[in-house]
Structure 1
Amino acid sequence: MEGLAADLGYQFLRTVEPIGKGGGLAVMWTQNCKVEVLQANNRLLDLKVLWQSKSFFLTCVYGEPIRGRRSDVWEKITRIGINRTGAWVMTGDFNELIDPSEKIGGADRREANGKDFRQMLNACGMWNIKHTGYQFSWAGTRNNMTVQCRLDRTVANQAWSDLFPKALETYLQKLELDVLPERERWPWFQRIGGFQH
């Protein structure tokens, strides 16, 4: 990641290492920003950012892949949010849907699924920011059926939206990077400028 950050023109990098082959978080920034790491673990990178005289909180999330453990992550975020004042944005792979409309294909999803996730967003005063591109950011096969879901998103509170009223999340075109030989993966990644929200 250090080489990638340098190649993309970032001077600073904070990472949380993956567990096995999954997970991991990375945040890169330039010297134009001041960033204070408030919390870092395998599910969250919680930061305080000062940029162009604007101060806000940024939480990068990698949601728990195992459904039965997800509520622990939402509880941690809710505890942060209860005491947090000021502009706040969260982004990442939440591994959860807000409602059944964020899924195409496969077995029907019950409205009750994702309840803890919705409660966390509500408790923290967060909602999706505007986005462009194809929002179904994950695709796979379950029981011989193609399934697509919106697992990646950016949510913000009203104070952050007031600071950045023109903010827009862009879903980049998906590339099948894992099918490329190892030596060819990073050049493809660099050409599209990284995956960003």
Structure 2
Amino acid sequence: MSLLAWNCRGLGSSLAVRILTDKVKAKDPTLVILAKTKAGVSRMKGIQRKLKYMQGIIIPSDGRSGGIALIWKEGIDIRFKSCSNSHVDVVVHGVLSPDPWRAIGFYAQPDSSKRDISWKDFNEIVHPDEKLGGADRDVGQMEAFRDCLNRCGLCDLGFVGKKFTWCNGCFGAQRT
């Protein structure tokens, strides 16, 4: 069993859909969580058909903002818990372990002063060493995020690959 989670930043272009299709074919995930789809229900249903992941929960975008989709293969026992315009929460049964486990997809406000509306964006850092360059992150913001993780009983699972996933597009000494 595997899970693919992608902040796709929009699925309106054929290139984005092709990249998603290639990722799904290469990884063959059981469950796919897509954030920031910027797509409505009919567009996402078409993408589900293309991927052959016919089961799912789609939270449509609000115009050209947001949107979450959690899609999975036929025959997987997934039970819906809750959703909003910023999250989808399910329990997965009988896959990976005999015990049920949760899959939660988030899309939160890009404006950090409004993140508590959808919690506080899970694209947040808990320690200053998780960030390189730019202005220092607000200590209170990191503390609030750590508190939320603790209240929810969540933990960081770590990562595989590059430590930093964002690049400013510059070259040489200006690259971050």
Verify: 1:107 aligned to 2:135, yes or no: yes
Verify: 1:22 aligned to 2:50, yes or no: no
Q: Is the 8 A contact 1:44 1:59 kept in 2?
A: yes
Question: In 2, Cα distance between the equivalents of 1:126 and 1:113?
Answer: 17
| Aligned pair partner of 2:103 in 28, 33, 58 | 58
Query: What displacement does 1:46 show?
Result: 1.1
Q: Any idea what the Cα deviations from partners look like across 1:123-176, whole Å, max 9, x if unmatched?
A: 1222111321124234458xxxx796xxxxxxxxxxxxxxxxxxxxxxxxxxxx
Unpaired runs of at least 5, structure 2: 1-43
Higher relative contact order (CA 8 A, sep 6+): 1
Identity of aligned residues (%): 29
Query: AA paired with 1:56?
Result: W
Query: AA paired with 1:51?
Result: G
Evaluate the alpha carbon distance shift between residue 127 and residue 49 of structure 1 in structure 2; reply closer, same or farther with a 3 A threshold: same
Question: In 2, Cα distance between the equivalents of 1:17 and 1:137?
Answer: 26
Verify: 1:71 aligned to 2:121, yes or no: no
Unpaired runs of at least 5, structure 1: 76-92, 149-197
Verify: 1:137 aligned to 2:165, yes or no: yes
Q: Is the 8 A contact 1:49 1:56 kept in 2?
A: yes
Aligned length: 127
Partner SS for 1:119: helix
Query: What displacement does 1:18 show?
Result: 1.4
Query: AA paired with 2:137?
Result: R
Q: Is the 8 A contact 1:49 1:55 kept in 2?
A: yes
Query: What displacement does 1:74 show?
Result: 2.6
Q: Structure 1 stretch 5-14 or stretch 113-122: which is displaced more?
A: 5-14
Question: In 2, Cα distance between the equivalents of 1:54 and 1:8?
Answer: 28
| Backbone CA RMSD of aligned residues | 2.6
Evaluate the alpha carbon distance shift between residue 105 and residue 20 of structure 1 in structure 2; reply closer, same or farther with a 3 A threshold: farther
Output the TM-score relative to the length of structure 1.
0.55
> Which has more strand, going by share of residues?
1
- Residues 123-162 of structure 1: matches in 2 within 5 Å? 123-140=151-168
Q: Is the 8 A contact 1:105 1:147 kept in 2?
A: no
Evaluate the alpha carbon distance shift between residue 95 and residue 64 of structure 1 in structure 2; reply closer, same or farther with a 3 A threshold: farther
Query: What displacement does 1:36 show?
Result: 2.1
Question: In 2, Cα distance between the equivalents of 1:41 and 1:7?
Answer: 25
Query: What displacement does 1:119 show?
Result: 0.3
| Aligned pair partner of 1:33 in 65, 72, 76 | 76
Query: What displacement does 1:118 show?
Result: 0.8
